[in-house]
Structure formats: structure tokens, C-alpha cells
Structure 1
Amino acid sequence: MNSRTKYILLILATTAFVLTIYNHNNELTETSFDSIELKYAKIFFGIGVLCAGLYFFNKTWRNLVTKIMIGAFGLSLVLNLYIFPRVYKTVQLSKIYYEYSEIETCEEMEKRFSTDLKNGQLVYFQFGIGYDLELAKTLQEKYDIKTIGMGCIIQSEKECYNKLLIEYLKEKENISSLFP
């Protein structure tokens, strides 16, 4: 195996490994922590590692095993790159949620709202059984407001933030029918 092939394999394997670990630790889908794409990425990575072991034990198969390694690590990398944007977006929303979860009073939330308003980083907290996708899409596209689903338990400090946001939008944007 020439040095160029070694470098290609090293880069493919390392990048696939790092992304697999990142995606595995941070992925949360509707049904589980491992999407089907991530499961296949892990399988292909395992095939690549197995072929790397076979490379050293059987000298007659080295050319074939090298091609299989490049293909397996490459497929693992492609699948992980496909998953990565969704996982990264989820991680960023989790960080935002964590920042707001530490705020415990309505007064602190009012201060946070004014800070968010100055920075142009407003957030709307959705409560209830179902997540209103249309409302989230409208808020994001028209007003650049991120929406975080909070589930069924209404939290009073986040409701304070929502009331301030709704008042602001009604005053500045003349919106009256967007919110229930």
C-alpha cells in the first residue's frame, strides 16, 4: 500500500470514528437514540476495522481488503455527514434550553427577554401535548424566533417570557392571530 492510500485511509477512518462518536453521544430522534443511518455507519466502520485487521494477516488479499476498507470507511463517513447537521441543530437547541432552564423567576426571565431582544435572539416556548410545527416554522421564517418544545408541564417563568414575546410581536409586528 502506498503512502497516499495510507493517508486516505487514515483520514477516512479518523473522521468517520470521530463523527460516529459525536453522533452517537448527541443524537436524539423521535424513536430512539440510534437512527438507522447511524446503525449502518457503525456497521460499515466495523467492517473497515475488520478489514484493517485482515490486511495484516493475509498478504494475498491486501489489494482487495484495501479497497473494501476505503469503501467501508467512506460509507461510514458519508452516513455520519448526513446525520451531523440534524444532530448539531439538536445540540444547539439543547444548549439554549439549558440556559433558560437555570432561570427560576419571572423577574429574571424579564431581564433575559430584554437581553434577547437587544441581541435579536428571541425564543418561544411551546407547551402542550403536540408541537405546533406551523407556528414554529412561521416564527422562524418570518421573525427569526427559535421555538423550543417544552411538553405538557407549563413552567410559569417561561410563560412570563412568552407573554413578553407575544406583547412585543403584537406591538411591533401587529400580530394578533398568530398565537392561541
Structure 2
Amino acid sequence: MKTRTKYILLISSIIGFALLIFNSVKMQYWNNVKLEMDISKILFLLGLTSLGLYFVIKNWRKALTKIMILTFGICLVLNLYAVSEYYKINKIQNTIAEYYELKTCEKMENRFATDLKNNEIKYFQFGIGTDLELQQTLKTKYGIESYGMGCLVTSEFDCYNELVNNYLKEKYDDGIIDY
């Protein structure tokens, strides 16, 4: 095996293994990456098996090297995807937690003014499911991030949403209620 190939295998397998452990701990309950994580684990085991066979079967070393590069590489890509999903979910949770700390309508009004100034308006959807069409419309048409909050409606978030609706009516002569 060439030195360059050894380094590629070593680096991709170490990074892949570290990310595999990180994702197994952090993302084990998130269904949106469960399939990728399962595939990644299988590929990593296949790569390790190929590595073991590499030292035993000398005639197959070239093919086993390609298998290792392929399996460790795909494992690395899948784990990088899972890490990006983890940080995306973490960012959403932190944003929602930040707004939950605002316990009065007055604080939400102040936050809305800040969000409006920074062009970071949000809309909080309540109910069993998130209205994906509304979420997409708000994002593309107005640049407003929408967050699915579940069934528990709080008056503070309702206050913020009312301000968003009034803003849309004033600026675009369009409101969320119209959807």
C-alpha cells in the first residue's frame, strides 16, 4: 500500500470513527438521521473487516484497499451530514429556548422590534403538525423563519405572532391569517 493511500485511510477512518461516536451519542434519538447512522456503522464495520482481511489475504490487497477507501469515505460523508443536522437542530432549539425566556408580551414586543431591525423575524406555529406550505411561503416571500411549537400555545408567542401578522399587513397588505 502506498504511503498516500495509508494516510488517506488513516485520516478518514479516524475522523469517521470520532464522528461515528459523536453522532451515536448525540443523534441516537433523532429519526431524521437514523438510517444514515445505521448505514454508517455498517460501512465502518465493513471497512474494519476489510482492514483485517488486508493483512491475512495478500492476493486481495488491491481490492481490499479500494473497499476500505470507499467504505471509510462514505462513512465519513454520512457522519458529516449527521453532524450538520445536529447543529441545525441545536440552533433551532436554542432559538426557541431564547424566546421561551421572554415571559411577558412587553418583552416579546421589544424582541420583535429588535428582530425587525435585524431582519430576523420569526413565526411560531402551534398545533399537531407544522404547516409546511405556510413555512415555505413565509421563508421565500418574506424571509421569515417559522418554528413548529407543538400543541401548547403560550400568550407570549401569540403576542409575537400578532406583531408579525400586523407587520405583514402594513408592509405587504397581506397577513398570515389570509393563508
The answer to whether TM tops 0.5 is yes
Q: Is the 8 A contact 2:27 2:33 kept in 1?
A: no
Structure 1 residue 63: Cα displacement: 3.9
Structure 1 residue 86: Cα displacement: 4.5
Structure 1 residue 99: Cα displacement: 1.6
Structure 1: runs of 5+ lacking an equivalent: none
Give the Cα–Cα distance (whole angstroms) in 1 for the partners of residues 176 and 124 of structure 2.
17
Q: Is the 8 A contact 2:20 2:79 kept in 1?
A: yes
Give the Cα–Cα distance (whole angstroms) in 1 for the partners of residues 178 and 156 of structure 2.
18
For residues 50-78 of structure 1, what are the alpha-carbon distances to aligned partners after superposition, in whole Å with 9 as ceiling and x for unaligned? Answer: 3334445x262544432321121122123
Bigger drift between 104-113 and 162-171 goes to 104-113
Percent identity among equivalent residues?
Answer: 48
Give the Cα–Cα distance (whole angstroms) in 2 for the partners of residues 98 and 50 of structure 1.
44
Structure 1 residue 90: Cα displacement: 2.6
User: Which residue identity does 1:67 align to in structure 2?
Assistant: K
User: Which residue identity does 2:9 align to in structure 1?
Assistant: L
Q: Could you say which residue in structure 1 is the equivalent of 2:10?
A: 10
Structure 2: runs of 5+ lacking an equivalent: none
User: Which residue identity does 2:17 align to in structure 1?
Assistant: F
TM-score by length of 2: 0.83
Q: Secondary structure at the match of 2:173?
A: coil
Structure 1 residue 95: Cα displacement: 2.3
Give the Cα–Cα distance (whole angstroms) in 1 for the partners of residues 164 and 176 of structure 2.
14
Q: Secondary structure at the match of 1:125?
A: strand
TM-score by length of 1: 0.82
Q: Is the 8 A contact 1:52 1:69 kept in 2?
A: yes
Q: Is the 8 A contact 2:36 2:82 kept in 1?
A: yes
Structure 1 residue 172: Cα displacement: 1.3
Q: Could you say which residue in structure 2 is the equivalent of 1:49?
A: 48
Instruction: Say if 1:90 and 1:170 are closer, same or farther in 2 by CA, change over 3 A.
Output: same
Asked if residue 69 in structure 1 is aligned to residue 72 in structure 2, the reply is no
**Superposition pairs for residues 1-180 of structure 1, below 5 Å?**
1-24=1-24, 25-26=26-27, 29=30, 32=31, 34-56=33-55, 58=56, 60=58, 62-81=61-80, 83=82, 85-176=84-175, 178-179=177-178
Question: Number of matched residues?
Answer: 177
